[in-house]
Structure 1
Amino acid sequence: MSNGRIPQEVIEAVLKHHDIVDVVGRYVHLSKQGHYMKGLCPFHSEKSPSFTVTPEKQIYHCFGCGAGGGVIQFLMAIEGYTFTEAISGLAKEANLDIGTYAQADGHVQQNPEKTKLLEAYELAGKLYQYILKNTEQGKQAMQYLRSRGLNDKVIETFGIGYAPPQWDTLAQLLERRQFPLPLMEKGGLISSRQDGQGYFDKFRDRILFPIHDWKGQLIAFGGRAMGDVQPKYLNSPESILFHKSRSLYNMHLARPAIRKLRKLVLFEGYVDVIKAWESGITNGVATMGTALTDEHADVIRKQADQVVVAYDGDSAGQNAAYKSIPILEKAGVQVQIAMIPGGKDPDEYITSQGSERFVREVIEAAVPSIKYKLLYFRKNYKLQEDGEKLRYIQQALKIIADIPSPIEREHYVRDLVTEFPYSYESALQTLNEIRLQAEKNNKFGDNKDKAWNNVMNDGTPRERSPSLYRAYHNAERQLLAIMMYDREVAHYVERELGDQFNVDAHAALAAYLYAYYAQGFEPNPSSFMAMLQEADLESLASSLAMMGNSHGVNDQVIDDYIREIKKYPQQQLIERKREEMIRAERSGDITRAAQIGIEIISLEKQLKSS
C-alpha cells in the first residue's frame, strides 16, 4: 500500500514520531475533557467548541463542519500543503530521512506552467534588487526609499527592488534564459505589443515590493511610482500564482509571530507593514490596497484569534476599517480597531511620532469593535442638539443590543448613560425592546449561513446522529467503525459482504480497509486515514473512528449488521414492485396487478427467511 510514491511503511514511521495533540495544539487552544481534547474549530466559525482531538486514536473530528482525519490531514487542511509536503515537513521535524520518497507524487505534481512562472518571478526579483542596489539607474529609487525611512537592512529583508524606465529590460532577460514569453505574459511579468511584434515589461520606473505566498514563494509585485505618475500603485494582475482576494502581503515573514501571539495586525499598504516591522510589529500583513474579502478573513482565521485593524486615519481608511469588522467577525476572530489621530497613515505616524508611541498609543490602544462602531456613528450626529442626541442614543443601543454577552451589554449601556442624562433603567428597557424585536425577526437561529452552528440549534446539523439514519445505513456505519479497529472482523465482512455496501462512500471506505489489512497493517485509524487522500472519505472515516468499537460487539451483532445491509436491495425491489402494482391497478390491468402481488409475496418470504 502506498500513497503516490511514499510507501505506507514510511508514513507510519513519520506518524509514530508525532503526537496529534502537539501538532494541533500549535494552531488550536485545546482543553482536556475526559478522554478527549476540545477546542474551537479552525476550519469554521463557531461560538462553542465542537472540534475534538482524540489522543488515543490520534485523530481529530469536528462535529460542526465534519472536518476530520489524522495529523497529515490536519496539516494539509490548515496549511494548504499537498500530501507529500505534509509528510516531508513532519519527517524533517522528526529528523527522519525519507530520501527519494519525498519527491512530488504524480497526482499532486505541480503544474509545469506554475513551476516555470515561479522560476521567472524569482529571477525577476533578483534582477530588480540588483538594479536598485548596484546600478546608476537605481540610485534615485534608493534615495527615495531612504527618505521614507527604510534602511539597507529592511530593504534586504523585504527584497525591495527597482524596475528601470527601459521598456524591455526584463523581457530581454527572460528571452535570453529561454522562458516562454507567452506564458510570462499570462503570468503578469510582461505585456505583448499592440502590433504583436515582441513584448515589453509590465513594470517600468517603479519601486517594486515583492509579494510572496505563505510558503515564501515570490508570486507577484506591487509597484510604486516615485513621481506624479498614475496609478500611484500598480499590482501584478491576477494569475495562476496570484489571487488578490486571498493574498496578504508579508504573511510568509509574519506567520511565526502571528502563530506565537495568535494575533495579527492588518494594514492597508506595503510601507505601513515594513515601517511597523521596524517598530517591532512583526505580526503585520496588508491587503495591498484591495478591499478585505471573505477569503482574506478565512486565511487570517487559520493563523490568528485576534486581529487589530490598523488602516489609515483618514475617512476612507476608517470607512474601510468599519467594513472589515463584520467580515472578520463572521470568520470567527476577535476584532479591535487602531485609531490613528490626525488622519495619518501608519507610515506617517511612525515617521512623525516614533515607533514607541505608535506601538503604545495606536496598536496597544486599539479599541474593541463595538466601541469603534459607537465612535464611528457618533461623528454623524450633532450632539449639542436634543433631537440628534436622541437619535444617536437609539443608534448606539441598537449596536449594543447585538452584543451576545450580558455583562458587555451592561458595560456599554452604563458608559452611555454616564455621558448622557438618561437613567440606566430606561436605556436598558429600550435595549431589551430592541433585542426582543430582533429575536422575533430572527427566530430561526443566530447563524443562518451555518445552521449547524446555531446556538438556538434550530438549524439542521450537517452530520445526523446515527438514530436518524435508516437501518441499513446505520448498520453500514456501525460495521465500518468496528472494522477500523478489528482486522478479523474486516476479513470476515470481506468474505460475507464484500462490496455490497449500499452507500457508495461506505463501499469505497470498505475497499480501502480491505486493502489496508491485506498489506498486513495493524488497526490504526490515523495510519489508515493517511492513505485515503480524499477529503470526503477522510471526514467520514474520522466520524466513524470517533464511534469506536466498544459497544457490545459479538459475532451475532456483526451478522445482524450484515443481514440488515443485504436486506436493503430486496426491500427496495419490493417497494418498486408495490408501486408497479398500484400503477397496474389504476390502469385497469387487474391480471398484471395480481401477478405482481404474487411476486411481492414470494419476495417477502425470501426476505423473512434470509
Structure 2
Amino acid sequence: MAGRIPQHFIEELVARTDIIEVIGSRVPLKRAGREYKACCPFHDEKTPSFTVSPTKQFYHCFGCGAHGTAVGFLMDYDHVSFVEAVEDLAARAGLEVPREGGAAAPEQPYDELYVALERAALYFRQSLSGEPKARDYLARRGLSAETIQRFGIGYAPARWDALLERYGTTDDERQVLLRAGLVVERNADGERASPPGHYDRFRDRIVFPIRDTRGRCIAFGGRVLDSGEPKYLNSPETELFHKGRELYGLYEARQATRSLQRLLVVEGYVDVVSLHQAGITYAVATLGTATTPEHLQRIFRLVGEVVFCFDGDRAGRAAAWRALENAVGELKQARQVRFLFLPEGHDPDSLVREEGAEAFEQRLTGALPLSDYLIRELAARADISSVDGRARLVELARPLVRRIPSDVYRELLVAQLAETVRMPAARLSELLETGNPPAAQERKESTPPRRARFGGPPVTGRGNLVRQAITLLVHYPETASAVGSIETLDAVDRPGVPLLIELLAQLREDPPQGTAALLERWRDRPDHGPLARLAAAECLVPDAEAAVAELRSALRRLVEEHAMTRLQVLEEKSRDAALTSEEKQELQGLLRAKGLSARVPAAK
C-alpha cells in the first residue's frame, strides 16, 4: 500500500495547474479585468459574485464565502477526497502521483471489494474471447473491437459457479464476492428447497463494467443474449455501488472529452457505447432507475447542460416526466435541461447507426427546453381553451414552479406560463408563490450579505500590522526572502506574531510557487482557514516590488511599536520600584535606540 503524497509534489502540481481551466470546465467563467467571474456554483444568486484569480490560482465567492485552490474546488464541487482531487489534477497534467516510502498506509475498508470486482472484470473480458455467440451478438450490434476494449465489455459464462470456482474457494473469499454483489446467497429469501451456499449472479450475459470517477470497477450491468428475462440485470446496492447516484459511461465521457460542455442521458448500456463509438462521447445512462436528484447534482457539478433522450412511446414519456419532476429542483442560473424524443421504433443505438452522428446531433439542437416541455405536457392534461382548463393548468404547475430554486428561471417560466393561461405574469406569480415555499424562505434567510468587492476589505498600509504583513506574504510569498533578519520579531508580543515568524522562516527556507501552493502547504494546519481568508482579501499593493517595501515597513513598525511600548513599561516601573540588572540593560538599549540620554532614573 502506498504512503503519503509528498508535500513538494502537491505544491508543484498546484503551481502547474491552470485553475481557470479546472473551474471553467465546470462553471461558465467570464473575464472581468485580471480575474474571471461567474455565478457561484455553491449557492444560488442572480449577480455573479464568484471570482477566480489566475495570478493567485485561487477562487473566492463574496456571497457565501467559499474559497480555495484548485484542489479545494474539486473536493467541494465534485465531492471527492483530497487524494482523489490530487489524482484528478495529476491526471490532467500527465503526472503520476508519487508516494513517500516508509510505513505503509493503513488498508482502506473497501480495498478487497475493488480487488474482487477488478478480478471479475478481467475474467469476464477473458471469457468473451472464448464465447462465439457473445462475440457475434456484439458484432451484430455494430460494436468494434476498440470500443469493446475501451468500455471493458465482457461475458459471464453460462454457469452457476464460474466466478465461485475461480475466486471463491474459501469462506472469506465467498463473503467478499457476496459483499461485492458478484454472487447470490442461496436461501437468502427463506426457501429451504435448495442446499445452502452461493451461486454466480451474472450468467450467460454480456457484462458492462460500471466505473467510478477514478475508473475503478464498482459494479456490473448484464444483458441477455436472447429473449430471456430480465433483459438487464444490475449489481445490487453494495458498499461501493448506489445506483441512484452512479451514471454508466461518465468515466469514459470524462476521459474522452477534457472539458465537457453537456451530457446526454439515455436509458441503456448499448445506447451509451454505440453513441460513443459514433463520436457522441458525452452520452451516459442511468442504471435501471429513474433520474434522481443525486444524478442531476452530479451532472451539474460537471456541465451546465443536460439533454434527456427517451423513446417516443408511452414508457419513454413517463420516464421523461419523472426526470423533469426531479430536474426542477436543480434549476439554477447557467443550467439548461432539455428533452429529446426519438421517432417511433427507434432507440439511440438504432438511430445513430441508421442516420449517423451528425444527423443525431442535429436532433439534439432541436431538443425541447424544460420550460417548453413542462407547459406542453401540462397543457395536454387540461383544456386550455376554457377558463376551467387554464385554472387546472396553473394548479398542475404550482408544485413544480415552487420547487425551482432560481428566482430568475422561475420568473421567466412564470412569464411563459402566463402567456399560455392568458394572465398577467405579475398576478400569476403572486398566485403561484402564495405562502412562500420554505426552501425559498430558508435560502433568503441563510444567504449572507454580500460585500462590494472581491473577498473582503482591501489590504492597505493601515490597520493591524501583523495582519498586513501576513497578507503580503500570502499574496507575494517571494517577498519573504527580501527582508533582513527576523530575530528582532521574537521579542514582539502580539497576537499572530508566532504565525508571522513561522511563515517568514518557512518561505525564506523553502519558497512555494505562488499563493495556492502556500495554502496547500498549510491545508492540515489550524491556520489554513485564516490564511485562505487573507488570500481572498483584495490586496491593493500592485506588484512584488511594492510588496517588499510594504512588508519591510510593516515589520519595522512592528518592532518599533513594541520597543516604544516596552520603553514606557520600563520607565513607569523604574519610577516606582528598582529595576533588575537585565531590565536596566534593556532600558539602556531602548534609550540608545531612541537616541536619548542613557541615564536611568533612580528608583524612588
- Tell whether the structures are fold-level matches, with TM greater than 0.5: yes
* CA deviation map 1:12-52 (0-9, x unaligned): 44444444334444443333324432223344554432222
Matched, 1:374 2:370: no
| Secondary structure of the structure 1 residue equivalent to 2:220 | strand
Matched, 1:180 2:173: yes
Matched, 1:546 2:548: no
Aligned pairs for 1:164-203 within 5 A: 164-175=157-168, 180-194=173-187, 198-203=197-202
Aligned pairs for 1:429-508 within 5 A: 429=424, 431-438=425-432, 441-442=435-436, 446=440, 448-449=442-443, 481=471, 484=474, 496-497=492-493
Shift of 1:410: 9.4
Q: Distance in 1 between matches of 2:217 and 2:518?
A: 36
1:127 matched to which residue of 2? 123
Single out whichever of 433-442 and 351-360 deviates more from structure 2.
351-360
Q: Distance in 2 between matches of 1:483 and 1:156?
A: 51
Q: Distance in 2 between matches of 1:268 and 1:106?
A: 48
Structure 1, gaps ≥5 residues long: 418-426, 563-610
Shift of 1:441: 3.3
1:6 matched to which residue of 2? 6
| Secondary structure of the structure 2 residue equivalent to 1:239 | coil
Matched, 1:412 2:416: yes
1:290 matched to which residue of 2? 289
2:576 matched to which residue of 1? none
Q: Distance in 1 between matches of 2:121 and 2:366?
A: 37
Q: Distance in 2 between matches of 1:186 and 1:60?
A: 41
Aligned pairs for 1:26-425 within 5 A: 26-78=25-77, 83=82, 102-103=98-99, 109=105, 111-135=107-131, 139=133, 141-150=134-143, 152-175=145-168, 180-194=173-187, 198-226=197-225, 229-256=228-255, 259-313=258-312, 314=315, 315-329=317-331, 333-342=335-344, 345-347=347-349, 349-350=351-352, 358-361=360-363, 363-382=364-383, 387-388=388-389, 391-392=392-393, 404=408, 412=416, 416=420
Shift of 1:321: 2.7
Single out whichever of 531-540 and 213-222 deviates more from structure 2.
531-540
Q: Distance in 1 between matches of 2:438 and 2:322?
A: 31
> Residues 27 and 303 of structure 2 are in contact (CA less than 8 Å); yes or no, is this contact kept in structure 1?
no
> Residues 249 and 287 of structure 1 are in contact (CA less than 8 Å); yes or no, is this contact kept in structure 2?
yes
> Residues 418 and 428 of structure 2 are in contact (CA less than 8 Å); yes or no, is this contact kept in structure 1?
no
| Secondary structure of the structure 1 residue equivalent to 2:288 | coil
Q: Distance in 2 between matches of 1:447 and 1:494?
A: 51
Question: One-letter code of the match for 2:248?
Answer: Y
| Secondary structure of the structure 1 residue equivalent to 2:214 | coil
* CA deviation map 1:476-521 (0-9, x unaligned): 97775456467579987775458x67xxxx99x7797478448553
> Residues 65 and 452 of structure 1 are in contact (CA less than 8 Å); yes or no, is this contact kept in structure 2?
no
> Residues 147 and 273 of structure 2 are in contact (CA less than 8 Å); yes or no, is this contact kept in structure 1?
yes
Shift of 1:372: 0.5
Shift of 1:286: 1.1
> Residues 275 and 283 of structure 2 are in contact (CA less than 8 Å); yes or no, is this contact kept in structure 1?
yes
| Secondary structure of the structure 2 residue equivalent to 1:404 | helix
Q: Distance in 1 between matches of 2:230 and 2:556?
A: 76
Shift of 1:306: 0.7
Q: Distance in 1 between matches of 2:4 and 2:502?
A: 15
> Residues 37 and 49 of structure 2 are in contact (CA less than 8 Å); yes or no, is this contact kept in structure 1?
yes
| Secondary structure of the structure 2 residue equivalent to 1:157 | helix
Q: Distance in 1 between matches of 2:487 and 2:71?
A: 27
The verdict on how the C-alpha distance between 1:274 and 1:368 changes in structure 2, with shifts beyond 3 A counting, is same
Aligned residues: 528
Shift of 1:129: 2.4
Q: Distance in 2 between matches of 1:143 and 1:520?
A: 61
> Residues 186 and 239 of structure 1 are in contact (CA less than 8 Å); yes or no, is this contact kept in structure 2?
yes
> Residues 257 and 282 of structure 1 are in contact (CA less than 8 Å); yes or no, is this contact kept in structure 2?
yes
The verdict on how the C-alpha distance between 1:206 and 1:299 changes in structure 2, with shifts beyond 3 A counting, is same
| Secondary structure of the structure 2 residue equivalent to 1:126 | helix
Q: Distance in 2 between matches of 1:94 and 1:44?
A: 29
The verdict on how the C-alpha distance between 1:516 and 1:229 changes in structure 2, with shifts beyond 3 A counting, is farther
Shift of 1:538: 4.9
Shift of 1:310: 1.3
Question: One-letter code of the match for 1:66?
Answer: G
Identity of aligned residues (%): 31
Q: Distance in 1 between matches of 2:400 and 2:243?
A: 32
Single out whichever of 347-356 and 56-65 deviates more from structure 2.
347-356
Single out whichever of 211-220 and 256-265 deviates more from structure 2.
256-265
> Residues 294 and 331 of structure 1 are in contact (CA less than 8 Å); yes or no, is this contact kept in structure 2?
no
Matched, 1:532 2:526: no
CA RMSD of aligned residues (A): 4.8
1:603 matched to which residue of 2? none
Shift of 1:561: 12
1:576 matched to which residue of 2? none
| Secondary structure of the structure 2 residue equivalent to 1:309 | strand
TM-score under structure 2 normalisation?
0.71
> Residues 400 and 412 of structure 1 are in contact (CA less than 8 Å); yes or no, is this contact kept in structure 2?
no
| Secondary structure of the structure 1 residue equivalent to 2:521 | coil
The verdict on how the C-alpha distance between 1:196 and 1:532 changes in structure 2, with shifts beyond 3 A counting, is farther
Q: Distance in 2 between matches of 1:108 and 1:366?
A: 52
Q: Distance in 2 between matches of 1:61 and 1:536?
A: 20
| Secondary structure of the structure 2 residue equivalent to 1:285 | strand
| Secondary structure of the structure 2 residue equivalent to 1:260 | coil
Shift of 1:336: 0.9
The verdict on how the C-alpha distance between 1:37 and 1:522 changes in structure 2, with shifts beyond 3 A counting, is same
Single out whichever of 474-483 and 291-300 deviates more from structure 2.
474-483
* CA deviation map 1:128-186 (0-9, x unaligned): 22323323xx51x4444445554555433322222123111011211479983322221
Shift of 1:546: 1.9
2:583 matched to which residue of 1? none
